Homo-oligomer: A and B are copies of this chain.
Amino acid sequence: MDMSASKEELAKFGYLTRDEELNYLQEVSDICIRNTKKYSDSEEKVLNFLHPEELSTKIDISLRRESSNPDEMKSILEKVFKFSVHTMSPNFYQQLFYWGDCWGIGGQWVAEILNTSAYTYEMSPVFTIMEKEVIKEALKLWNFPSTGEGYICHGGAQSMLFALNVARNQYYPQVKTKGASSMPNVDIYTSEEGHYSLEKSASIIGIGSESIVPVETDDLGIMKMDALKAAISKTLANGRVPFYINATAGTTVTDAYDPINEIANLCEKHRIWLNIDGAFGGSLIFSNKHRHLLKGAHRANSVVWDFHKMLGAPLPCSVLLLRESGQLKAAQGISVGYLFAGKKHYDVDYDLGNLSIQCGRKIDNFKVWMAWKARGSNGFEAHVDKLYENAEYFLNKIKSRDDFRLVFPKAEPRLKICFWYLPPWLQKKTLNEEDKKYLNAVTHKIKEVYVYEGLLYLATQPLKKHPFFFRIVIIDPRKGPRELDRVISIFSDIGSKLKKEDFNV
């Protein structure tokens, strides 16, 4: 079964025989499974935190002229597990993603070992028809015309970039060949809590970050319609063109939903492109109970929606939807003789690579397809509904205690909840400026303790003029009251020991 090269020759290249390779991979899978089991235990550290210099002494990261053998490589993999963040831990609440489902992970293992690329049907027949199926079902779910199109992007930032680029090409097609100096000065609106990838996208595509108009938000992080209208008027008064509104469905820090339907009215009136950044919140589309937060979404020109965030598919896999076909190829395709054009033995409309700006492409669509196939739309619906139950549970707990305080007391249950822990000397009082300095320091101190001890992974955030606060992300439906209560005890165990005199503010 092995090819020409002898075992000795293979060793010169650092290769094993095929049988040895497969044995090694079998052992790697054992390492994966054993360690995942271990770190799924809530008593294990969510991270063994070390500073970079220290970490470098624990793993021999140096690259050399000499090769390493399978045993050395396996021992490195064990250490990689030990010193990485254990997203499979019940104590992981920090990011907008988590250790989600084995369907996607299994799919990725298969995609990795097949080592193919999703740019032509020829190279990835199975994955190509699956991607088309995902897009077809997603268009249905979002109530987009069936004549729409879509693409599975390598992450939400790529979807955001492509959406903006497609919009530009629809309004100013000459830019593709002539450059951005051939278009008028345009303004792009997004809430001041909107994701930074929009600013990066505007910079890179040559519109310039100053074209981004951050629109004021209310206390909960929702874009104010008055502010948006005023911003559009200002654009017009300045002789610029209102071009693109990015409505955020689930902001990064507070999980706020912009009023899409009202924004759509404005877009229609002024012929502005409407993009929905539903990277996080787009998944509510599955839930009858919570879909109302996306009201009006079917009127958008484009939607960005990540399966790797709220729904737990392995990251990254982002779905970009467009209400009309042909827009991706028009904006991003070119004629490439050796790849997409010329005579082929099949229908080249199945070659998806020319919809993108990438050539080689990881099989990210398979994760979405596998997760959706395995869990069904019903599974995703139950998932979303359970998350809101958990959020309500945690919110009520926090409200009922003197040692916790909500950053936004009027917040309804959302999947990110922002709060402070108040040590005894700050409880039951309105905080003055000095208190806020203490609170800031307390937040940093508590995080430092739980991170160094590996008890919990939960982010701290700045926002507007507030002292740094904690933000818990509630997206794993496997967790429930038991895990959420544990979070509260970890805080109170650490926090109740803090003394005012330990802080130098």
Contact = CB atoms under 8 A, between A and B. Distances in A.
A142 interface: no
Contact of A109 (B112, B210, B366, B373): B112
A45 interface: no
A419 interface: no
A10 interface: yes
A404 interface: no
A238 interface: no
Interface stretch (A226-234, A406-414, A420-428, A444-452): A444-452
A80 interface: yes
B359 A5 contact: no
Q: Which of A85, A183, A360, A379 has the most CB of B within 10 A?
A: A360
A253 B197 contact: no
B129 A61 contact: yes
A382 to B, nearest CB: 4
Contacts of A116: 84-85, 87
A326 interface: no
A505 interface: no
A79 B107 CA distance: 12
B97 A360 contact: yes
Nearest to A176: B203
Given A178-B208, A376-B14, A62 B133 contact: yes
Given A4-B478, A73-B103, 5 more contacts: A14-B379, A59-B129, A87-B116, A175-B208, A180-B206
A477 interface: yes
Contact of A28 (B106, B371, B373): B106
A177 to B, nearest CB: 5
Contacts of A121: 52
Contact of A33 (B22, B336, B376): B22
Nearest to A99: B115
Interface in A141-168: 154-158, 161, 165
A463 to B, nearest CB: 8
Contact of A68 (B181, B350, B374): B374
A388 interface: no
A241 interface: no
Interface in A80-104: 80-81, 83-88, 90, 94-95, 97-103
Contact of A357 (B3, B24, B201, B386): B201
A200 B197 CA distance: 20
A253 to B, nearest CB: 6
Interface stretch (A256-264, A429-437, A480-488): A480-488
Given A36-B113, A102-B16, A482-B4, A359 B206 contact: no
Interface stretch (A268-276, A294-302, A308-316, A495-503): A308-316
A382 B154 contact: no
Contacts of A157: 357-360
27 contacts: A3-B478, A3-B480, A21-B101, A24-B102, A24-B106, A25-B102, A26-B29, A49-B125, A52-B121, A55-B126, A61-B129, A61-B369, A63-B372, A65-B378, A73-B103, A85-B124, A95-B123, A97-B115, A109-B112, A154-B358, A158-B358, A180-B180, A204-B204, A209-B334, A316-B361, A338-B463, A345-B444
Contacts of A453: none
Interface string A319-356: 00000000000001010111100110111001000000
Q: Which of A90, A379, A480 has the most CB of B within 10 A?
A: A379
